[in-house]
A and B are shown apart, each in its own frame.
Chain A
Amino acid sequence: MSDDLMNRLLRYGTLISAATMALGLVLTIITGIDPGMVLSPTDLFIGLAAMNPEAVLSLGVLILIAIPLLRVISLGALFIKTQEWGFVLAVMMVLGALCLAITLGA
């Protein structure tokens, strides 16, 4: 992946997450729900089907935190393409630590 493509991934991903969060915030103000609510990943999908403000907000946050993950995966693909195996190993280490984060958090 070129720098230009990575740049576009960052830019559009950020814009989509910002737009989703902004929509969720507007819905939250209209409905007056508690901004401190926390949704589980399972509730997120159920809530999205019903267009719940909590679920829209959670989706926006989820898209935002997925951007660095996509960036790491795209760099891994770049290093495989250019056969820079040392850097591929570095990317694998990062992805391994992120998997550990989900396991420990749950």
Chain B
Amino acid sequence: MALDLLLMLIIIGMVAGMLGALLGIGGGMLIVPAMTLVLGLTMQEAVAVSLVGIVATSSGATSHYVGVGLCNVRLAMVLEGVATLGSVMAATAAVLLDQSVLAAVFGLVMVYMAIYMVRRPERLSPPATVGGGHITGGYRDPVNGCLVEYQATHIGKGAVASFIAGNMSGLLGMGGGSVKVPVMNIIMGVPMRAAVGTSNLMVGVTALAGALVYYAGELIPAGIAAGVAVGVLLGSMTGARLSGKMDPRGLRTYFSLLLVAIGIMMLLKAVGVLS
């Protein structure tokens, strides 16, 4: 492997890992297009590399989130059963699907995600009604030091959303955090910081399910995946430490513009305009 290629892989991984940890997403939104548009990998190879990168994002950031009590492991495991199943089913389908179909679906999802990230509201207080069972949690706020206690409600709705997030992960190489975080926050009443911390644990397990399908099918290019993963580990550890100190809203707006541009390029690739 050439040194310039290795540096490129590490930089792609670092950017994806840092943004992933800051925004509670896996970073696949950047890794998949970088692998297909810049390095010319097939969609299946790009998704496989991305899933390894997402596991790295999760491992790097979750050790921090568990340490400061922002990761609700009980809630994560309850939602993860269906998310993992969704990821396995979608990864199996992705191996069999046509390249252009996968690229087109990826492009459309990117544009939708960009619009959603800019518009998404944030729930600051718990929901008024409690339904469908609940799981409790608590943490000390890293900014003001106050103890925050909450009840995660509407577990059934959260499970349906987790299944959809699992589908996205296995099919498109995304973490699915862009679905899990807002659903935990808005529908289930989990505070945003705890939702991001819990999502970081969950995306690693969801991505693992997809990665196992690709690993067992001998579809993971190890050298490229390792280069990206090393970069992601460095980026996600830095991002997790910055998460308590900066407001991600401004970052989210700029990131959304980037996603629209990448989404359009993936659509152009799907119709054969870009190679």
Contact = CB atoms under 8 A, between A and B. Distances in A.
Contact of A25 (B6, B80, B205, B212): B6
Interface of B: 1-3, 5-6, 9, 41, 45, 52, 55-56, 58-60, 62-63, 66-67, 69, 73-74, 77-78, 80-82, 84-85, 87-88, 91-92, 95, 201, 204-205, 207-227, 229-230, 233
A80 interface: no
Nearest to B219: A38
Contacts of B95: 105
Interface residues of A, number: 58
Given A21-B229, A87-B78, A90-B80, A11 B63 contact: yes
B59 A10 contact: yes
Given A6-B66, A105-B217, A65 B211 contact: yes
Contact of A90 (B67, B77, B207, B226): B77
A69 B214 CA distance: 16
A2 B183 CA distance: 28
A54 B59 CA distance: 23
Given A64-B59, A68-B204, A93-B81, A24 B226 contact: yes
B127 to A, nearest CB: 22
Q: Chain A contact residues: over half helix, strand or loop, or mixed?
A: helix
Given A94-B81, A97-B84, A104-B92, A36 B59 contact: no
Nearest to A22: B230
Report the 5 A-B pairs with minimum CB-CB distance, sorted nearest first: A35-B223, A105-B216, A93-B81, A105-B213, A10-B63
Contacts of B220: 38, 61
Nearest to A1: B73
Given A90-B77, A91-B77, A97 B88 contact: yes
Given A67-B59, A98-B84, A35 B77 contact: no
